[in-house]
């Protein structure tokens, strides 16, 4: 199930699924240590003796964000209960707190309403050895294990505290969890439990007259110890929960609109998707510099692993998009991380954890005969250099790169220049970007060429002419080898191949594969690059309209689509999909400015919706 609503601040990432169930709590790194293991944390409501959870199909749901923010604006209505709910959720910009506001509107006769918030804990990714308890110091429930502590608190009116709680076992001796205890509208107030545990809290809104509304706040604090937990709880008590929602809303509105952006003749829907893509990409970036591919734990069912890793390729293209959008600090932190994790040989590994450690991999260190080989996708190494030069070319921050010239740029450039087949002039075999096979791939060849050109540009910048000439010479050999060995003259195109991952149809003649957002937008980027007239450019605009139309209501994009139903498939959101939206929009606007003679690439802003 897709993660329709991710919200984060660089150290705490929280996601909600399509039913608006809280599913993932990552802390203290984005994408690492999922303290729920993707299990649903339920929300329930009791109305005058009738109870329902959010997974009840009778609920109508509209899962969106407030415009230009990372604050949700979710509306829910249940016809039998005669109530409608509006949720606003945010991860605070400065403190590791999930803040939630729920407004309940009574559409029927006067009635009593109670709210129940449930948390299914797997602290450090396992349910073994967790503790849940009522903790008077924060007037709420606390879950902890080792150096990970979480406090769930609430407020109704001016009173901070809970109207009931339950701490209990789950999945042990037939126990399903404390959420079952909530279904009669009351909780047993068991104050502590250990092992495989969960917890549920109650907030009572009292009686609400017809046509009137009542509001409650519920927040979850993440910290490394009980002392820090209580410090944050005291700050929330002092300032009030509303202040944290408002400052976070204001911050993200300012962040996403930091530049005076123009969208030429692109529709307001594309402009909205552009801004939403910037925000979604930001949720997938750890404060330590790692750019995660995706954080949707449901993918575990496919391969018993996740996308919560940094592939240097995806990350490099994502920070390039952020550079195009005018953000400096995010790319810098990625490049600083890259300098720490590059191997002494000068290449990047398959993938990395958010902390920068080598991630899981299926790439062997020897071939079928036992001969040693590099277990890499070489495009990932080339694209880091490409992104480095694009960053410099955009911002001209010469001082920043000085420390990384030899230990990163030249180290990687030398590897790319040496890992070449002397017979073809092409890069030696490595694994392809789709992670299907080892060989010499057109995409990889292009990225190695781009990386060598970047290395040559830096060498020339530092006055090392001979080194620059060496890199450019190898790059020219790659270009000639590509024309000779990778271009199909009969088909009039470069060789490529078809992907099988998540493939829905075997009817290759009519459905050659699932539509991928990134691949479709690559074609759009080619159209932009080739455009000689505005009519040529219009085809790229049509692709952007198609992408905007295929996005979820929240603006989230997955990896791919079902070719028949157009339902989103695989992980969602995929950082790369959103980054490609940003890049394609920038390239489109710049090319249109060139074709119309405005020259700036920043025409007057399009109307906002």
Confidence of residue 136 (pLDDT cuts 50, 70, 90): very high
Residues 6 or more apart whose Cβ sits within 8 Å of residue 297: 23, 24, 34, 37, 38, 306, 308
Kind plus residue range of the DSSP H or E element containing 150: strand 148-156
- Whether residue 586 lies inside any domain: the answer is yes
Which of 255, 272, 303 delimits the end of a domain?
255
- Whether residue 416 lies inside any domain: the answer is no
Give the DSSP letter string of 4-29: EEEEE-SS-EEEEETT--EEEEEEEE
Count CB neighbours of 446 within 10 A.
19
SS3 string of 544-558? HHHHHHHCCCCCCCC
Same domain, residue pair 263 and 223: no
Which ranges of 92-240 would DSSP assign to H, the alpha helix?
Answer: 226-239
Q: If 0-12 CB within 10 Å is exposed, 13-18 middle and 19+ buried, where does residue 269 land?
A: middle
What 3-state DSSP class applies to 563? coil
* 175 or 114, which is more confident: 114
Same domain, residue pair 35 and 164: yes
Q: What is the pLDDT of residue 509?
A: 65
- Let me know the angle formed at the C-alpha of 282 by 278 and 285, rounded to the nearest 5 degrees: 145
Q: Are 89 and 98 in contact (CB under 8 A)?
A: yes
Q: What is the pLDDT of residue 303?
A: 66
pLDDT (tens digit, 9 = 90+) per residue, 280-297?
999 999 999 999 999 988
Q: What is the pLDDT of residue 501?
A: 46
* Eight-state DSSP code of residue 228: H
Which of 213, 239, 255 delimits the end of a domain?
255
Same domain, residue pair 270 and 130: no
CA distance 592 to 127: 55
Same domain, residue pair 166 and 232: yes
Count CB neighbours of 212 within 10 A.
11
**Count of structural domains, the chain:** 2
pLDDT (tens digit, 9 = 90+) per residue, 567-595?
888 888 999 999 999 999 999 999 999 99
Among positive and negative, which fits the CA dihedral 451, 455, 460, 461? positive
* Eight-state DSSP code of residue 606: P
Q: What is the pLDDT of residue 603?
A: 34
Confidence of residue 245 (pLDDT cuts 50, 70, 90): very high
Kind plus residue range of the DSSP H or E element containing 319: helix 312-324
Residues 6 or more apart whose Cβ sits within 8 Å of residue 495: 442, 486, 487, 488
* Eight-state DSSP code of residue 409: I
Q: What is the pLDDT of residue 33?
A: 97
The domain in which residue 117 lies consists of 3-255
Same domain, residue pair 114 and 46: yes
**Spatial CA neighbour of 574 closest among 551, 592, 557:** 557
Residue 563 has pLDDT above 90, yes or no: no
Same domain, residue pair 161 and 280: no
Residues 6 or more apart whose Cβ sits within 8 Å of residue 64: 72, 73, 74, 553, 554, 555
How do strand 213-223 and strand 60-62 relate by DSSP bridges? Answer: unpaired
- Whether residue 402 lies inside any domain: the answer is no
Q: What is the pLDDT of residue 382?
A: 98
Residue 269 has pLDDT above 60, yes or no: yes
- Whether residue 429 lies inside any domain: the answer is no
Residue 63 has pLDDT above 80, yes or no: yes
Same domain, residue pair 13 and 146: yes
Same domain, residue pair 279 and 137: no
Q: Are 569 and 502 in contact (CB under 8 A)?
A: yes
What 3-state DSSP class applies to 513? coil
- Whether residue 112 lies inside any domain: the answer is yes
CA distance 133 to 179: 15
What would the mean pLDDT of 38-62 be, rounded to a whole number? 96
- Whether residue 18 lies inside any domain: the answer is yes
Bond prior to 100 in cis (omega within 30° of 0): no
What would the mean pLDDT of 592-603 be, rounded to a whole number? 74
Q: How many CA atoms lie less than 13 Å away from 515 in the CB half-sphere?
A: 20
pLDDT (tens digit, 9 = 90+) per residue, 197-244?
999 999 999 999 999 999 999 999 999 999 999 999 999 999 999 999
Same domain, residue pair 268 and 192: no
Q: If 0-12 CB within 10 Å is exposed, 13-18 middle and 19+ buried, where does residue 602 land?
A: middle
Residue 532 has pLDDT above 90, yes or no: yes
* 67 or 505, which is more confident: 67
Q: What is the pLDDT of residue 500?
A: 41
Same domain, residue pair 118 and 180: yes
Which token pair is 375?
A: 């277990």
> CATH number of the domain that 27 lies in?
2.70.98.10
Question: By mean pLDDT, which of 46-60, 116-130, 398-412, 479-493 is the weakest?
Answer: 479-493
Which token pair is 83?
A: 């109530």
Residue 602 has pLDDT above 70, yes or no: no
Question: By mean pLDDT, which of 370-374, 447-451, 507-511 is the weakest?
Answer: 507-511
Beta strands in 378-488 (DSSP E): 430-431, 438-439, 487-488
What would the mean pLDDT of 491-519 be, rounded to a whole number? 71
* 495 or 466, which is more confident: 466
What 3-state DSSP class applies to 561? strand
Q: What is the pLDDT of residue 511?
A: 72
Same domain, residue pair 90 and 223: yes
Confidence of residue 298 (pLDDT cuts 50, 70, 90): confident
pLDDT (tens digit, 9 = 90+) per residue, 395-450?
998 899 999 999 999 999 999 999 999 999 999 999 999 888 899 999 999 999 99
- Whether residue 483 lies inside any domain: the answer is no
Residue 343 has pLDDT above 70, yes or no: yes
Count CB neighbours of 58 within 10 A.
10
- Whether residue 63 lies inside any domain: the answer is yes
Q: Are 533 and 250 in contact (CB under 8 A)?
A: no
Same domain, residue pair 147 and 275: no
Q: How many CA atoms lie less than 13 Å away from 89 in the CB half-sphere?
A: 23
* Eight-state DSSP code of residue 52: E
């Amino acid at each position: 199930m897709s993660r329709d609503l991710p919200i984060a601040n660089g150290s705490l990432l929280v996601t909600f699924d399509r039913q608006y169930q809280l599913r993932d709590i990552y802390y203290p790194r984005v994408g690492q240590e999922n303290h729920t293991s993707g299990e649903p944390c339920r929300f329930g409501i009791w109305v005058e003796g009738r109870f329902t959870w959010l997974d009840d199909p009778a609920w109508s749901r509209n899962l969106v964000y407030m415009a230009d923010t990372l604050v949700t604006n979710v509306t829910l209505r249940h016809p039998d209960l005669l109530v409608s709910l509006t949720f606003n959720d945010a991860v605070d910009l400065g403190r590791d707190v999930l803040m939630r506001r729920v407004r309940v509107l009574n559409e029927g006769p006067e009635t009593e309403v109670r709210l129940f918030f449930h948390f299914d804990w797997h602290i450090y990714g396992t349910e073994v050895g967790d503790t849940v308890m009522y903790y008077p110091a924060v007037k709420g429930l606390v879950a902890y294990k080792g150096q990970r502590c979480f406090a769930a608190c609430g407020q109704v009116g001016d009173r901070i505290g809970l109207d009931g709680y339950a701490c209990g076992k789950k999945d042990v001796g037939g126990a399903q969890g404390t959420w079952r205890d909530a279904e009669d509208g009351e909780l047993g107030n068991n104050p502590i439990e250990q092992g495989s545990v969960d917890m549920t809290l109650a907030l009572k809104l009292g009686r609400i007259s017809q046509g009137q509304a009542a509001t409650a706040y519920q927040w979850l604090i993440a910290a490394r110890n009980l002392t820090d937990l209580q410090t944050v709880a005291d700050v929330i008590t002092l300032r009030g929960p509303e202040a944290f929602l408002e400052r976070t809303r204001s911050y993200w509105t300012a962040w996403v609109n930091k530049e005076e952006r123009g969208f030429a003749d692109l529709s307001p829907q594309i402009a909205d998707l552009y801004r939403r893509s910037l925000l979604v990409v930001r949720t997938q970036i750890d404060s330590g510099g790692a750019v995660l591919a995706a954080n949707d734990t449901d993918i575990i069912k496919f391969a018993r692993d996740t996308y919560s890793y940094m592939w240097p390729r995806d990350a490099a293209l994502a920070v390039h998009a952020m550079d195009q959008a005018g953000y400096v600090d995010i790319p810098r932190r990625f490049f600083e991380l890259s300098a720490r994790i590059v191997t002494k040989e000068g290449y990047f590994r398959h993938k990395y954890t958010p902390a920068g450690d080598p991630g899981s991999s299926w790439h062997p260190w020897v071939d079928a005969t036992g001969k040693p080989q590099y277990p890499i996708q070489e495009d990932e190494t080339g694209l880091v250099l490409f992104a480095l030069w694009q960053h410099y070319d955009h911002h001209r921050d010469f001082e920043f790169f000085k420390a990384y010239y030899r230990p990163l740029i030249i180290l990687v450039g030398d590897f790319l220049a040496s890992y070449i087949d002397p017979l073809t002039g092409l890069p030696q075999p490595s694994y392809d970007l789709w992670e299907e096979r080892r060989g010499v791939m057109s995409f990889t060849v292009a990225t190695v060429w781009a990386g060598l050109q970047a290395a040559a540009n830096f060498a020339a910048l530092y006055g090392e002419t001979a080194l620059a000439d060496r890199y450019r010479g190898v790059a020219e050999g790659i270009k000639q080898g590509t024309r000779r060995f990778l271009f199909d003259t009969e088909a009039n195109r470069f060789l490529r191949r078809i992907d099988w991952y998540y493939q829905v149809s075997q009817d290759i003649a009519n459905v050659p594969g699932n539509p991928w957002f990134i691949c479709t937008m690559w074609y759009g980027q080619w159209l932009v690059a080739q455009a000689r007239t505005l009519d040529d450019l219009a085809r790229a605009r049509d692709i952007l309209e198609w992408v905007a139309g295929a996005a979820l209501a929240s603006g989230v994009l997955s990896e791919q689509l079902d070719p028949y139903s157009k339902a989103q498939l695989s992980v969602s959101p995929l950082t790369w999909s959103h980054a490609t939206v940003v890049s394609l929009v920038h390239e489109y606007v710049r090319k249109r400015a060139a074709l119309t003679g405005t020259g700036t690439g920043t025409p007057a802003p399009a109307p906002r919706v």
